[in-house]
Structure 1
Amino acid sequence: MTLTLYMHPVSTVSRPVALFVAEKKLPITERVVDLMKGEHRGPEYSAINPNMQVPALEEGDFRISESSAILKYLASRFNLPEYPADLKERARVDMVMDWFNTGFYRDFGYGLLYPQIFPHHKRPSDEAQNVTVNWGKDKAKAALAILDKSILGTNDYVANNRISIADYFGIGLVTAGEIIGCTFAEYPNVQRWIANMKKLSTWESVNQVMYGFAGSMKDKTFERV
């Protein structure tokens, strides 16, 4: 049965799934949902994902959304080691994915990045905008310190010290910071992990459009980490 991934190549949460699909050479058809034209709000796509967000996965009459859930489903469906069968190892993967999705992404994405990148996320006054961005920056720095010292430390990967879907998920969220020029200079273990994940054979091809978008932002001034 055909598997279809609805995604957009710039989307922070589409990129982890697209990277996993490409790297593992999974038999999945990708369909780009044009966010810039509002295609995600149209009747065809909203019937697939009522949340009107990407990504979504469709297999016959089975449909799921949410990047984390899609990664877990695909790794389980194809019996891949990136989502280990051992319960304790799997629990560590789940824990880190949940942490990325809540403790990290909430503040880094919606506090620091998006209010500076997207007009519809910008706050209605300069004061509110500054408070939001500064709050997001402080919270993101605290989360990055946890990622750097506690989750990674001397390990190469974020769970069980071998690559898992938690790495695929997290790297998409963290490298979204490169759109505003984040270098993560204060977090050497995070930098090392990013460099390691960028060695994946399909990294450049999957992230080409995102880096093009980042290039369009290079002359702008942002609050960064």
Structure 2
Amino acid sequence: MTSLRLYHHPISTSSRPVMMFATEHRLQIDHQVVDLFSGEQHGPAFTAINPNQAVPVLEHGVFRLTESSAILKYLADLVESDAYPIDARERARVNEAMDWFNTGLSRELAYGFAYPQLFPNHARPGAEAQAAGLACVRPRAERLLSILDASMIGPDRRFVLGERITLADYLGLGIVTVGEAAGMDFTPWPNLRRWLSTMKARPAYAQTHAVFTGAFGHARTRNAMALTGEGAC
């Protein structure tokens, strides 16, 4: 197999799902950490690799992909993973759930609620604007988390789409955990908490989330972070 190279950062919301999938599937990957906190993603060398100046980026020989969802699907097809089923309707359900995570939940929980608290360059200007913004976005994020809890996972499913893990679980985990790091209280959603515990119990979670867990393990340490590379200005 032509060599695989992944440009990523271990704290990145969109990098961690790819890292976890690759670890669980024992993919031989050349890991290239992009130092987001020094602004390496904005430099000419990385901009030539990804003009979006964001991680992750996958290179497979001369082939290059720059979106987390697309990278997950490509890798799953490459290794014929059950996490991305071949059946057209089953695959469509996975795509649907991934799009849901990547648009609505990412917008409200990650960009709206979490990033302004975790990363200073995402914070709204002034304490009053910050408080107002969080007050506005919180109920929208909570509504989507209620949908995830009741309608997607529900009381009987182990994973988002049933008893088998899919790419939707990997992608969703990255977004949900960044909300958790920012202090979103998941107490109202028992099914979500059960799913989150199931995902965190997988050995690859500890392997691929050690830096993330360490960075956000103490309440205010996270506010020392300067850049995310998650589409930051």
TM-score, normalised on structure 2? Answer: 0.90
CA contact (8 A) 1:3 1:60 kept: yes
Structure 1: runs of 5 or more not aligned: none
Q: Which residue of 2 aligns with 1:212?
A: 214
Q: Which residue of 1 aligns with 2:38?
A: 37
Indicate how the Cα distance of structure 1 residues 84 and 220 shifts in structure 2: closer, same or farther if over 3 A, else same. Answer: closer
Q: Which residue of 1 aligns with 2:190?
A: 188
1: CA distance, partners of 2:158 / 2:198: 8
Q: Which residue of 2 aligns with 1:28?
A: 29
1: CA distance, partners of 2:222 / 2:94: 36
Q: Per-residue deviation at 1:125? A: 2.9
Q: Which residue of 1 aligns with 2:164?
A: 162
Structure 2: runs of 5 or more not aligned: 224-233
CA contact (8 A) 1:111 1:135 kept: no
1:142 correspondence with 2:137: no
Q: CA RMSD in A?
A: 1.6
2: CA distance, partners of 1:49 / 1:220: 26
Q: Write out aligned runs for 1:32-181 (5 A).
A: 32-153=33-154, 154-181=156-183
CA contact (8 A) 2:47 2:53 kept: yes
DSSP 3-state at the match of 1:215: coil
116-125 vs 3-12, which moves further: 116-125
Tell me which amino acid in the other structure corresponds to 2:173.
I
The structure, 1 or 2, with the larger RCO (C-alpha pairs under 8 Å, 6+ apart) is: 2
Query: Quick one: percent identity of the two aligned structures?
Result: 47
TM-score, normalised on structure 1? Answer: 0.94
Superposed CA offset, 1:125-156 (max 9, x none)? 33322222112211110000000000011211
CA contact (8 A) 1:108 1:140 kept: yes
DSSP 3-state at the match of 2:219: coil
Indicate how the Cα distance of structure 1 residues 115 and 27 shifts in structure 2: closer, same or farther if over 3 A, else same. Answer: same
CA contact (8 A) 1:181 1:218 kept: no
1: CA distance, partners of 2:40 / 2:8: 11
CA contact (8 A) 1:179 1:213 kept: no
Superposed CA offset, 1:105-135 (max 9, x none)? 1000111111111111111233322222112
Runs of 4+ deviating beyond 6 Å: none
